[in-house]
Amino acid sequence: MNSQSFESAMGRLEQIVRSLEQGNVPLEESLKLFREGTELVRSCTKQLDDAQLQIQKVMTGADGSPVLEDFHDDGTV
């Protein structure tokens, strides 16, 4: 799996979509771009899911009840 940032992956995905929408990319290259785009979508989805889990952990106490805490970004996603 690619370890690029979410923003970088989304930027590349946007480039791929634009290229495919133009319709002037040869079939073999289109398939290659489609496969790359699919992997980027998986990577972005995983990063978003991981971020959501972190937020839920911060917002839920040990007993499952909601807890108000200040959000501190420790740099891990």
Q: Is 66 helix (H, G, I), strand (E, B) or coil?
A: strand
CA distance linking residue 59 with residue 65, whole number of Å: 8
Residue 64 corresponds to which tokens in the numbers above? 């499952």
* Average pLDDT for the chain: 85
The reported pTM is: 0.69
Is the Cβ–Cβ distance between 50 and 76 less than 8 Å? Answer: no
Digit-coded pLDDT (tens) for 46-64: 999 998 888 877 777 778 7
